[in-house]
Amino acid sequence: MNESGILENQNISCPPRKSEVAFSSNCVRLSGYELIFVIIVASFVFCFGPKLWERVEKFEPEPDFRLPYELSSDYWLYNRYCRWAISKYETLVIGDSVVWGHYVSQDNTLSHYLNEITGRDQFTNLGVDGIHPVALSGLLKYYGRDISGRKIVLHFNPLWMSSSKQDLQSTKEFSFNHPKLAPQFFPKIPCYRETYSGRFSAVTERYVPFLNWASHLKVTYFENMDIPTWTLEHPYKNPAGAVTLELPKQVNDNQNEYVSWIEKGTAQKDFPWVKLETSLQWKFFRKSVELLTERGNSVFVLIGPFNEHMLEGQSIETYRQMKSEIALWLQQNNIACYMAPALPSEWYADASHPLDKGYAMLAKQLFENESFISVILNSSSN
C-alpha cells in the first residue's frame, strides 16, 4: 500500500452505530410527555392524597373509643380523631396513660365514668398511652391544631417528675416515648441523641401532610416499617394486600394485669423527685396549658391521683410540697384545678394508674368539685 493509501485509511472515520445511546442505562425511560404525566399524578397524590384517604379508610369510633395501643405513635390518625371528637363531644379529656386507661378496659376509663354520671356522651377520651408532658406539648401544638373553643380536662401525672430520667434530664442516652414529638433542636433534651437527618425528618413531618400520612400507613398496615423492610420480614405476602383499609380494633387482652400493686407484690419506693423549678416535664406541661388557653379553650387541670401509699422515706413530704407549688402556679394563672387525693391503696395498679373502682371514685370526686362544675359543666364552649 502506497503512502497516499495509508493517509487515506487514517482519515477514515466510522459513524456511530444507531443502537448506541449517549447516556447510561435505566430500568425505565420516559418520553417527555410520559414524564409530564408522572409529575402531574405524583403532585396530585402529594397534595390531595391524605384528604382523599380519609374518604376511603373507614373511621367510625364507637362509644368509649380510645386510640388503639398499637397506634399510639400514629399522629396523623390522632389529628383525624381530634377533628372527629370536637364535632361530637363537648369536653375533651386529654393526658397520658392515666387518661387512656392502661390497666382497664375502654369501658372502665375516666371518660366512661364521667359520661355515666352525666347520663350522656359529653366526654371523650383523647389520652395517648405513654405521652409524657414534653411529647404532649408537641402533640397538641402540631397535631391538635383544631382543638379550640372547647372544654378541656387536662391531666398531669406527677410520675414524670419522679426522677431525673423520667424528667428527661439525664445526660445518658436512653430511649423514651414519642421522641418525634419532643423538641428536635431547641431547647435541647439532654438524653436525646437522634441524628440531624432524623431530627430534620421529624420536623418536616409535622408540616407536610403527605409525609405524616405516609407515616400513618407504615404504623397502621406495615408494623411501623417501610415497605422494603416489611417485604423482607414477609417475603410471601403482597404489600398491597396488607392495606386492608380497616383500623385495628382495641383488644383488651391484658386482663391478667388488672390487679392491684399489692397483689403484684410491688415494693414501696423512695422516689428521687426533681425540683419543680428545674423540671423539663413541668415546663412543657405549662406550655400545653398556655397553648390551650390561647386557643380559646376552657381548661380544667386534674393532678393525680398519685399512689401515695407506694411512697416511703422523705419522698412523701417532697411530693406534697411539689403539689402545693403546682397548685400555686395554677392559681396564679387563673387555671381551675383539682388536686386529687390518694385513692384506697388496693385501687391502684402501680404508682399512678387507678383500676376501675379508682376511676369511678375519681369521676365522682370531680362532680363534687365546684371548680369542675363551674368550668366544665356550667360554662359554654365558644
In tens, the pLDDT along 314-338 reads 999 999 999 999 999 999 999 999 9
From the number of C-beta atoms within 10 Å of its C-beta (0-12, 13-18, 19+), residue 103 rates as: buried
- Please give the model's pTM, rounded to 2 decimal places: 0.88
- Determine the pLDDT at residue 116: 96
DSSP 158-175: GGGGSSTTTTT--SS---
**Which residues in the chain show pLDDT less than 70?**
1-28, 250-257, 379-382
Q: How far is CA 33 from CA 25, 36, 38, 134, in A?
A: 20, 5, 9, 49
The neighbouring-strand residues paired with 210 are: none
Kindly list the domain boundaries of the chain, sorted by start residue. Answer: 29-58, 63-378
DSSP 12-38: --PPPPTT--SS---S----HHHHHHH
- Determine the pLDDT at residue 370: 94
Range 63-378 classified under CATH 3.20.20.80: no
* C-beta separation of 92 from 65 below 8 A: no
- Determine the pLDDT at residue 21: 53
- Determine the pLDDT at residue 280: 97
Q: Pick from 179, 215, 175, 173: which is nearest to 191 by CA?
A: 173
- Determine the pLDDT at residue 246: 87
Residue 155's contacts (CB-CB under 8 Å, 6 or more residues apart) are: 93, 94, 95, 96, 98, 99, 127, 301, 302, 303
